[in-house]
Amino acid sequence: MLTFWMLIPGYANGSYLEQVDIRISTTGTNVSDFSTVVAALVFPAGSPDTTWIQYSYQLTNFVSPGSNIYIGFREHVTDNLNDGAAVLLDLVEVTQGGSSNTFFEDFEGFAVGGQVACQDPTNWSTWSQLPCSAEDASVSSNYAHSGTKSFVIVPANDFVKPLGDKTSGKWWISFWVYMPTGKGGYFNTLNTFPATANEHWGMELYFDVGGAGRLLNGGTVNFSWTENTWQYCEVIVDLDLDQAQFWFNGSQVGTSWQWTRGNPAYALKLAANDFYGPLQTTADECYYDDYWFGDEAWVPVEMTSFAGSVNNLGQVVLNWQTASELNNHMFEIERRTETSEFRTVGFVEGHGTTTQQNNYSYVDKTAEQGVNYYRLKQVDFNGTYSYSDIVEIEVVGPLTFELAQNYPNPFNPSTNIKYSVPESGNIRLSVYNLVGEEVAVLVNGFSQAGFYEVTFDASNLSTGVYLYKLQSANSVQTKKMMLLK
């Protein structure tokens, strides 16, 4: 898998069309060796500056698994005598993993207003197999589930995602869909493609204007949808069992059905998705984003950040944020060290299905000193799960003997006291009144090096100033606090 981040600044005033090619070579580093085009990203003249955008490409869609490869990036403009805008790249990575039978597209690498199959004929087509024709869908910035772009289907379009004529295995197709007020849409999933006199639809799905929906799968199953809202579609086809399901917003619509519908003329294959405007009027306007196809499910929880830090008690604080969630049961927090495997150290409940931003936090109070690695295992209600990226947190033990100021101060009737000890040994933390009488002992005994916090309850003491003292074999620190009743 190739992933990288790209930024094109200073572009808004550009007079020339800009193009960035991502190419592969399996033979060498001469310019002519980079003959395999992974993507050709086009930015028309006068386009606004981009933000940092992450791009991902499954390289086994272009070269055989195990190939030795070179990756090349090429910038060029329509007028080669003039410089284009600066193209900045960061975090360029080629990683192992991910199924070669998966495909994902969020359309962020496409030029707004351009046609999808025209820009990427390798992965997209049309009913008549004519990219760049009127059947081809356009990239839009009107609405987007993630990022800033999606593709839109209007009356003239008959847009196709070929799926490779699968004949066995279990396959997941998923994407997000959006219809504005007064608009509708349609898609189907084909047993065979290209279109012939014998093509058949394993299923058809109508989003009728007004919020009614119809699944046609040999019968008709009615459901409802919502205008002006991104909603999640998932088609599951098990070719080994000749069974299929359709899920909408995390709930199954109807029951499973026979993919070939009991008709010998229907091929036991999975060939393509077709996106079409069923009414052929201006009421056909449907947006699609975050398209997934693969032999494993995509867990549609959009995580926008995941980071960690160490607090002054030596505990690891993990924070993450989601932009939307679908059927999200929980997050398992997993941790490993440089000498151990990942294991679960905690759980945080998810928010089910929501399009609202949510913030999560977890404090690991048992982190070991040294480097700790964390990842999140997001678990769906049906047991499907996926892993986050891994974050690395170094926990460093206290370097000094230190007694912190109590908080709150003044207090009534209790307050918290934090302290740290840099080496193991006997520790005593005690409280005295101003005449030197010991009124409480909070800690007295052997302690490992580390960060600590105790609570002092002064319910049985009178208002006044008190001293608290931390003492080890080699160090002593004392501070004042005020009890105010």
- Domain 103-294: state its class: mainly beta
Specify the range with the lowest mean pLDDT, choosing from 83-92, 174-183, 293-302, 458-467. 83-92
d(CA 25, CA 68): 9
What pLDDT is attached to residue 98?
45
Given a cut of 50, whether residue 138 has pLDDT beyond it is yes
Give the pLDDT score at 449.
81
Is residue 18 very low, low, confident or very high in pLDDT (cuts 50, 70, 90)? low
Enter the CATH code of domain 402-483. Answer: 2.60.40.1930
Decide if 301-395 and 402-483 have a common fold.
yes
Tell whether the model's pLDDT for residue 220 goes beyond 50.
yes
Rounded to an integer, what distance in angstroms lies between the CA atom of residue 276 and that of residue 256? 24
Q: What is the mean pLDDT of the chain?
A: 86
Say what the pLDDT of residue 158 is: 95
Q: What is the pLDDT of residues 385-436, one digit of tens each?
A: 778 889 999 887 766 899 999 999 999 999 999 998 888 899 999 999 999 9
* Spatial distance between the Cα atoms of 435 and 447, rounded to a whole number of angstroms: 29
* More confident position, 291 or 99: 291
Evaluated on CA atoms 337, 343, 345, 348, the torsion sign reads positive
Is residue 24 helix, strand or coil?
strand
Each domain of the chain, given as residue ranges in start order, spans 2-94, 103-294, 301-395, 402-483
Query: What backbone phi and psi angles, to 5 degrees, belong to 31?
Result: -55, -40
Q: What pLDDT is stored for residue 96 in this prediction?
A: 60
Residue 425, CB-side half-sphere exposure with 13 Å CA sphere? 13
State the pTM of this model. Answer: 0.52
Q: Within the chain, how many helices (H) and strands (E) appear?
A: 1, 36
**Percentage of residues of the chain with pLDDT beyond 90:** 53
Q: What is the β-pairing status of strands 270-276 and 185-190?
A: antiparallel
CATH class of 301-395: mainly beta
How many Å apart are CA 347 and CA 474, to the nearest integer? 41
Dihedral of the alpha carbons of 218, 220, 221, 222, in degrees to the nearest 10: 160
